Amino acid sequence: MNPSTTTPSDTATAHADAGAGPPEGSSAGSALEARDISAWFGDNKVLERVSLAVRSGMVTALIGPSGCGKSTFLRILNRMHELVPSASMSGQVLLDGVDVYGPGQRITDSRRRIGMVFQKPNPFPMMSIADNVLAGPKFVGMRLGRSERDRLVEECLTKAGLWREVKGRLRAPGGALSGGQQQRLCIARSLAIRPDVLLMDEPCSALDPTSTRRIEETIQQLADEVTIVIVTHNMQQAQRVSQECAFFLAEEGTPGRIVEYGPTRRVFESPTDQRTLDYVHGRFG
Ligand SMILES: Nc1ncnc2c1ncn2[C@@H]1O[C@H](COP(=O)(O)OP(=O)(O)OP(=O)(O)O)[C@@H](O)[C@H]1O
């Protein structure tokens, strides 16, 4: 669907501009498609038939005011929503065409293919830097020899932009790093399971501007090989790191929906919906 035809009520499917095409050189990662996702906490419906086709090898930003369901949507993509006792959902999440909620699909398989980085850096503080990186593979049952482990630690820390800063102290505890370094360690930990998709929920909101910039560089470098979906409240960040952008909104007690989706530049510079225009210009939210 061309976003110019996307109306506020037309939330059934949101695809980016068909004619826009992926940026040159972006072909890696996996395609992720959410279809008709609705979500509840108890009786409270917080998402209403949200559909979103995330293109592979790109960064997609989810923006919108607080409470409109961005984090819930993100957590549905890798089956974390179901861990909340009162939570329920309907719809499909297709990873390379296969519904991660389909019969026979295991939650561990989804976690292995779809990694997550949280708002607050959460390394294991007493565990060494190297063991933090290896914690993900260990958790999902990957068996690695000593040299494979060493290679994986270096590879993931390099990709996360942290290797040069920590290569001389891999046995130091993860908790001894700065906040920005801890977040890059968490990114390295997520990469160690070799995910196809990396979900990031406001990964810079607890960081200073320098660390934020460093993480943004890391995101841009990673986009060549992993599909990234990032929730951010920072409009400049959305424009700096993403190629595509979805604007979520929950109006007057109604569940969250996608108002508009498309190439980030178009969403920010010439949105089709007045509410998108108002939001990206800081007039509400
Ligand atoms: N564990 C929970 N139990 C009950 N309600 C919840 C829970 N988590 C979120 N909600 C509710 O679901 C709605 C969507 O919340 P969500 O965190 O997904 O929004 P958000 O857009 O990510 O917000 P923010 O930008 O502030 O992080 C909100 O009304 C919130 O109160």
Domain boundaries, the chain: 3-122+199-280
Cα 169 to Cα 125: distance, rounded to the nearest angstrom: 15
* CA of residue 81 to ligand 1 center, whole Å: 11
Find out whether 215 and 185 touch, Cβ atoms under 8 Å.
no
Say if domain 3-122+199-280 classifies as CATH 3.40.50.2300: no
pLDDT at 11 over 80: no
Taking residues 83-95, report their average pLDDT. Answer: 96
Taking residues 200-210, report their average pLDDT. Answer: 90
Q: Is residue 46 lining ligand 1, measured as CB closer than 6 Å?
A: yes
pTM of the model: 0.88
Query: What is the pLDDT, as a whole number, of residue 111?
Result: 85
Query: What is the pLDDT, as a whole number, of residue 14?
Result: 60
Q: Is residue 180 lining ligand 1, measured as CB closer than 6 Å?
A: no
pLDDT at 12 over 50: no
Find out whether 194 and 165 touch, Cβ atoms under 8 Å.
no
Buried b (16+ CB within 10 A) or exposed e, 4-41: eebebebbebbbbeeebeeeeebeebbbbbbbebbbbe
Q: Per-residue confidence at 267, pLDDT binned at 50, 70, 90?
A: very high
* CA of residue 72 to ligand 1 center, whole Å: 6
Closest ligand 1 atom to 64 CA: 21
Q: Is residue 84 lining ligand 1, measured as CB closer than 6 Å?
A: yes
pLDDT digits (tens, 9 = 90+) for 168-179: 999 999 999 999
**Phi/psi-derived region of residue 113, left when phi > 0, alpha when psi is between -120 and 50, beta in every other case:** alpha
Query: What is the pLDDT, as a whole number, of residue 283?
Result: 84
Query: What is the pLDDT, as a whole number, of residue 25?
Result: 39
| Ligand 1 probe mutation, 37, 41, 229, most atoms within 8 A of CB | 41
* CA of residue 222 to ligand 1 center, whole Å: 28
Buried b (16+ CB within 10 A) or exposed e, 166-187: beeebeebbeebeebbbbbbbb
- Mean predicted lDDT score pLDDT of the chain: 88
| Ligand 1 probe mutation, 71, 116, 232, 247, most atoms within 8 A of CB | 71
